[in-house]
Chains A and B, each alone.
Chain A
Amino acid sequence: MTSSDMVAQVPLEWYLLVSGILFAIGMTGVLTRRNVLVIFMSVELMMNAVNITLVAFGTALNSLAGQAFVVFVVTVAAAEAAVGLAIIMALVRHKPTVDPAEMELMKE
């Protein structure tokens, strides 16, 4: 059995369903958690959920564009993680909390 046969046997919708459920989970995490790091992780989860749809569609349509997009998303995610974590470091140094509700420097 070649790998393309395996693809053929899993419907596209299944991937989409998994992606949608993971997306909803990530979003719930963003809304419920108060640790900014965990919120960050939830955002990463949401991005990965989207990545699945990109690759699934690309494979289904016999296109490499989906995979190329995922490469870019991963790149941006890496950049975002680097900058975002640096910002969190700087913020925590200023005020020792990870609750975004307490990060209110700009509000004043």
Chain B
Amino acid sequence: MPDVLNLVWLIPALPLAGMLITGLFGRLFTRAGLRLAASYLATACVLLALLLSIAVAVAVGARNGLAFSYQLYTWIPSGDFRADIGFYVDGLTATMLLVVTGVASLVHIYAIGYMKDDGRDPEVIAHHGGQEHGHGESGTPPPSPPPATRGGEGGWRIAGGLQKDGGLVRFFCFLNLFVFSMLVLVLANNYLMLFVGWELVGLSSYLLIGFWYQKRDIFQDIKGFLRKDVPFEAAKKAFIVNRIGDFGFAVGIMMLFVNFGTLAFKDVFNMAPTQVNNFVLGNMTVTCLLLFMGAMGKSAQFPLHVWLPDAMAGPTPVSALIHAATMVTAGVYLVARSNPLFHLAPDAMLVVLIIGTVTALLGATIACTATDLKQIVAYSTVSQLGYMFAGLGAGMWIAAIFHLFTHAFFKGLLFLGSGSVLHGMHDLEAEGKDPQDIRWMGGLASYMPVTRRTFIIGALANAGIFPLAGFWSKDEIISGAILNSGGVIKDHAVWGAIAGMFLWVGSFLTAFYMFRLVFLVFYNRRHWDPSTVHPHESPPIMTVPLIILAGAAVVVGVLVGFPPEAGLIHQYLYPVFKGVMVEAPASGYDAARFAQTFGLQLVSLFFAALGIGLAFLMYYRPNTFNESLRGALPALYRALRMRWYFDELYDLLFVRGGKAVANGLWAFDRNVVDGAVNGVASFYAWGSGRLRHVQTGFVGNYAMSIVLGLGGVLLVVAIPLVLKALGLFQ
């Protein structure tokens, strides 16, 4: 049997094949009435990739962490510059492979059920309307939902035949494209190929967020405020915000090449310790920060986090796969992959730590007041990604990857659970009510038992409750930061401790908003009208992935992460981070160490329990406690509701500012640049008007000009000869 590592190219090739088949022959599938066959095919490709990934992960473990590099061919040989297409497989890659293909497989299965009915009846699509004037300002809710108007004045929704026909096949084509891109990103053996995957996931993210590109909905929330749901604008926002980060990333790659002369991971990492003092351009800190800029964009870190909540306009499976489990963790992967570089740039590590902590708190605070089901989970993702970066910045490399690993399961679970809830509450949409607004829900516990149970498991894992997955990974980051287990930020040890404290606050907030969500959706009182809304449990094809993920969320933490800092995953990943870690993970159970770490984790647990308790008090039953709290701190509440005014700030700074600059440049262009161009043009028009008379149309004149030219040439030859003959010129 050949070494399975030699088959590593098959892992991205399978989704690529799936994408090509569904993409190129999608119409045939649809026409033959085999829409579902296409989705089965795409799912099968990803499942096969998952099997291969498991085999590869096992093989990597058997190699004792020796990295495996596999070169397909040289992509760009150009002078000193060389870019290869090749794979680099080590523990980190294998972990990412498992996460990507594992979650992708479950999401694919789930999406078969979720998207099956996506070819929505145009009649249903067409009938929404809304009122331009919300009643929310006065605080009195409208007596009844606005009457449905067919294609109302706003024309909120354009009925699309396309969604009905090609939607499912297109969706799975894009999903496979995404999986392929993500695998390219993860498997790349050099920065350029990683960048290619990086941009490809950006593209597929764009395509999938804007999947319902014809949708232009305006929904009404419980207070009469209107919420726009326009996916293609969200797609554009995600793409453009990511460009900012990618710009930094690209510059960082260029700096790497300038300073190292190569982009291959192996060479760059080997050279890093000697090259750090020989930088031609910039230094290691700047390079790392530029790389981190890319990670900030892709992983929605402050201040580039604004795109991720909007990205929830995409289908829910997409949110689960791309915007929770895999693509947004690409930034974490990038930083972890570049660990030999970041290790040599302690200042950059500090920046990573601070950004991560700020983002963790930022996301958590906004999630506390958000009312959109998916956006709460999205802000939770932002917050958890912040935890991961804080872990990286604190030198807790393995803990960060561990958290990435567990987070993929429980956040995927939460998103898929949200999708299940939305699926069940689909009737809200027919009333023109925002189907994602949790204030329209409540009391769903008895209608969706499986969804409720799995969702609560996800929430507990996210909140970091013992012994679920989040507890082991997240709290390992916090305790590690406080104890400075990473040891990287020696000079900044105090920063780690401060960050740890803030992350505890974050833990409290996390638990609070997660259970606020749970209570408002599944308990409390019903805010929907039982005569028109008929909540129902989702079909098994959707609930089975939920159950699988819930099981994983329960056991995966303790399975791979126990005991803390010395679990299976720590042993597995240690070779990757060998060069940057203070000490190897303990091979066995170390009582003193365990007590220290576990003690700190219990503190964290206490904060989480506090958060759950507060949420229980405020939201389990209808009461006025939250109203009064809101009234006590109106400014804070408004700021949170407005998401700390980031969108407004960016609008002011970049959109308006950019417009002003562009207008100025336009005026310059029109008057100076165009003036110069037009001036040149009119000069030549004038000149050619004069020169026109040379063209007489007489053959003889043209012959004459030939002769004149010949005479001129001969003159040039003759004059020096004459001068020479006369002795005037030597």
The reply to whether A and B meet directly (CB within 8 Å) is yes
A residues touching B (Cβ–Cβ < 8 Å)?
A: 27, 30-31, 34, 100-101, 104, 107
B677 contacts the other chain (CB 8 A): no
Chain A residues near B698: list those with CB within 8 A. Answer: 100-101
Q: Which residues of A contact B694 (CB under 8 A)?
A: none
Tell me which residues across on chain A come within 8 A of B699, comparing CB atoms: 100-101
Contact status B700-A100, CB under 8 Å: yes
**Residue of A at shortest CB range from B707?**
A27
State A101–B703 Cα separation when bound (angstroms).
Answer: 12
In the complex formed, the residue of A with least CB distance to B706 is A27
**Interfacial residues, chain B to chain A (CB-CB below 8 A):** 697-700, 703-704, 707
Of residues B698, B700, B704, B707, which shows the largest number of chain A Cβ atoms within 10 Å of its Cβ?
A: B700
Complex: A76 Cα to B194 Cα, angstroms: 68
Given contacts A31-B700, A34-B700, A107-B697, 11 further A-B contacts (CB under 8 A): A27-B707, A30-B703, A31-B703, A31-B704, A31-B707, A100-B698, A100-B699, A100-B700, A101-B698, A101-B700, A104-B697
Nearest 5 pairs of A and B residues by beta carbon: A100-B699, A101-B698, A31-B704, A30-B703, A27-B707
- On chain B, the residues within 8 Å of A107 by CB distance are 697
A100 to B704, CA, bound (A): 14
With the chains together, A31 CA to B698 CA distance in Å? 11
Complex Cα distance, B707 from A61, in Å, reads 30
Instruction: A104 to B700: give the CA distance in the assembly, Å.
Output: 13
A25 and B163 alpha carbons, distance in the complex (Å): 84
Q: Which residues of B contact A101 (CB under 8 A)?
A: 698-700
Residues in A with CB closer than 8 Å to B697 are 104, 107
A31 to B700, CA, bound (A): 6
Give the residues in chain B near A27, CB-CB below 8 Å.
707
What are 13 A-B contacts defined by CB distance under 8 Å?
A27-B707, A30-B700, A31-B703, A31-B704, A31-B707, A34-B700, A100-B698, A100-B699, A100-B700, A101-B698, A101-B699, A101-B700, A104-B697
Q: How far is the CA of A41 from the CA of B574 in the complex (A)?
A: 97
Q: Tell me the complex Cα distance, A27–B707, Å.
A: 8
Q: Please, how many angstroms separate the alpha-carbon atoms of A34 and B703 in the complex?
A: 13
Residues of B near A100 (CB, < 8 A) are 698-700
Which residue in chain B gives the minimum CB-CB distance to A100?
B699
In the complex, A67 Cα to B703 Cα: how many Å? 29
Question: A32 — nearest CB in chain B belongs to which residue?
Answer: B700
- CB-defined contacts of B700 to chain A, threshold 8 Å: 30-31, 34, 100-101
Q: How far is the CB of B173 from chain A (nearest CB, A)?
A: 60
Once bound together, how far apart are the Cα atoms of A27 and B708, in whole Å? 11
B696 to chain A: closest residue by CB: A101
CB distance from B724 to the nearest CB of A (A): 17
Minimum CB–CB distance for A43 against chain B, Å: 10
Q: Which residues of B lie under 8 Å from residue A34 when comparing CB positions?
A: 700
Bound-complex Cα distance A101 to B697 (A): 8
Provide the bound-state CA to CA distance between A100 and B697, in Å: 11
Enumerate chain A residues within 8 angstroms of B707, measured Cβ to Cβ: 27, 31
- The CA-CA distance from A101 to B701 in the complex, in Å, is 10
Bound Cα distance A89, B699 (Å): 19
Nearest residue (CB) in B for A20 is B714
Docked CA distance A100–B703 (Å): 12
Distance in angstroms from A46 CB to nearest chain B CB is 11
- CA–CA, A46 and B698, complex, Å: 21
Which chain B residues border A30 with CB–CB below 8 Å? Answer: 700, 703
User: In the assembled complex, how far is the CB of residue B154 from the closest CB belonging to chain A, in whole angstroms?
Assistant: 63
Cα-based distance from A101 to B704 in the complex (angstroms) = 14
Give Cα A29–Cα B227 distance, bound, in whole angstroms: 90
Docked Cα-Cα span, A34 to B704, in Å, equals: 13
Question: Which partner residue on chain A sits nearest B714 by CB separation?
Answer: A20
B residues in contact with A104, CB < 8 Å: 697
Residues in A with CB closer than 8 Å to B703 are: 30-31
Closest approach, in angstroms, between the C-beta of A102 and any C-beta of chain B?
A: 10
In the bound complex, how far is the Cα of B707 from the Cα of A100, in angstroms? Answer: 18
For the complex formed, measure the closest distance between the CB of B721 and the CB atoms of chain A, giving whole angstroms. Answer: 13
- Whole-angstrom distance between the Cβ of A107 and the nearest chain B Cβ: 6
Q: How many angstroms from the CA of A49 to the CA of B87 in the assembled complex?
A: 75
Cα(A31)–Cα(B711), bound, Å: 14
Cα separation A104 to B697 with both chains bound (whole Å): 9
Closest to A107 in B: B697
The CA-CA distance from A19 to B683 in the complex, in Å, is 46
User: Once the chains are docked, how many angstroms separate the CA of A27 from the CA of B704?
Assistant: 9
Q: Which residues of A contact B704 (CB under 8 A)?
A: 31
State the Cβ distance, A29 to closest chain B Cβ, in Å: 11
Q: A31 contacts which chain B residues (CB < 8 A)? A: 700, 703-704, 707
**Alpha-carbon gap, A31 to B703, bound state (A):** 7
- CB of B179, distance to nearest CB on chain A (Å): 67
Q: How far is the CB of A25 from chain B (nearest CB, A)?
A: 13
Chain B residue, CB-CB nearest to A30: B703
Report the separation of the CA atoms of residues A39 and B624 in the bound assembly, to the nearest whole angstrom. Answer: 112
- Complex Cα distance A20/B288, Å? 77
* CB nearest to B699 among chain A residues: A100
Of all chain B residues, the one with the shortest Cβ separation from A103 is B699
Q: Which residue of B lies closest to A27 (CB)?
A: B707
* Docked CA distance A104–B704 (Å): 18
Q: How far is the CA of A30 from the CA of B707 in the complex (A)?
A: 10
Q: Whole-angstrom distance from the CB of A73 to the nearest CB of chain B?
A: 20
User: In the docked arrangement, what's the CA distance between A95 and B703, Å?
Assistant: 23
- Measured CA separation A27–B706 after assembly (Å): 11
Measured CA separation A100–B698 after assembly (Å): 8
Chain B min CB distance to A19 (Å): 14
Q: Closest CB-CB distance, B700 to chain A, in whole Å?
A: 6
